[in-house]
Amino acid sequence: MTEDVQIQIAELVAVHKGLGNVTERESETVLSGALPFEASTDGLETITDSFDIEVTIPNDFSDTLPRVRETGGRIGTDYDHRNPGGTLCLAVPVEQRRVFFDEPTLLGFVNRLVIPYLYGFCFFTKHGHHPFDEAAHGFEGISRHYVDTLHLQGDLAALRVICFLFEHSYRGHHDCPCGSGRKVRACHGSALLALHNTHNEQSLRTDFMAIFETCFAKFENGQLSFSTPLRRQLLRLLKKFQD
pLDDT at position 11 is: 96
9, 22 in Cβ contact below 8 A?
Answer: yes
68, 54 in Cβ contact below 8 A?
Answer: yes
pLDDT at position 137 is: 66
Domain boundaries, given as residue ranges, for the chain: 3-127, 138-242
One-letter-per-residue 3-state SS of the chain:
CCHHHHHHHHHHHHHCCCCCEEEECCCEEEEEEEEEEEECCCCCCCEEEEEEEEEEEECCCCCCCCEEEECCCCCCCCCCCECCCCCECCCCHHHHHHHHHHCCCHHHHHHHHHHHHHHHHHHHHHHCCCCCCCCCCHHHHHHHHHHHHHCCCCHHHHHHHHHHHHHHCCCCCCECCCCCCCEHHHCCHHHHHHHHHHCCHHHHHHHHHHHHHHHHHHHHCCCCCCCHHHHHHHHHHHHHHHC
Provide the b/e sequence for 128-149 (b: ≥16 CB within 10 Å).
eeebeeebbeebbbbbbbbbeb
132 pLDDT more than 80: no
CATH placement of domain 3-127: 3.10.110
Average pLDDT over residues 10-29: 93
What is the rounded CA–CA span in Å between residue 126 and residue 188?
39
pLDDT at position 158 is: 93
pLDDT at position 138 is: 73
pLDDT at position 201 is: 82
Q: What is the pLDDT of residues 209-243, one digit of tens each?
A: 989 999 999 999 999 999 999 999 999 888 877 76
28, 59 in Cβ contact below 8 A?
Answer: yes
Q: What percent of the chain has pLDDT over 90?
A: 52
200, 208 in Cβ contact below 8 A?
Answer: no
Candidate from 34-48, 136-150, 157-171 with smallest mean pLDDT: 136-150
DSSP 45: P
Q: What is the pLDDT of residues 179-188, one digit of tens each?
A: 889 999 999 9
75 pLDDT more than 90: yes
Q: What percent of the chain has pLDDT over 70?
A: 98
Average pLDDT over residues 32-38: 96
204 pLDDT more than 80: yes
Query: Which residue in 84, 207, 90, 64 sits closest to 145, CA to CA?
Result: 207
Indicate the pLDDT class of residue 50, thresholds 50, 70 and 90: very high
CB atoms under 10 Å from CB of 114, counted, come to 21
pLDDT at position 134 is: 61
Candidate from 17-21, 157-161, 189-193 with smallest mean pLDDT: 189-193
pLDDT at position 135 is: 60
Indicate the pLDDT class of residue 46, thresholds 50, 70 and 90: very high
pLDDT at position 136 is: 61
Q: What is the average pLDDT value for the chain, to the nearest integer?
A: 89
- Residue 155 Cα to chain centre, angstroms: 18
User: Which is more confidently placed, 187 or 139?
Assistant: 187
Q: Is 77 exposed, middle or buried (0-12, 13-18, 19+ CB in 10 A)?
A: exposed
Q: What is the pLDDT of residues 93-121, one digit of tens each?
A: 888 888 888 888 999 999 999 999 999 99
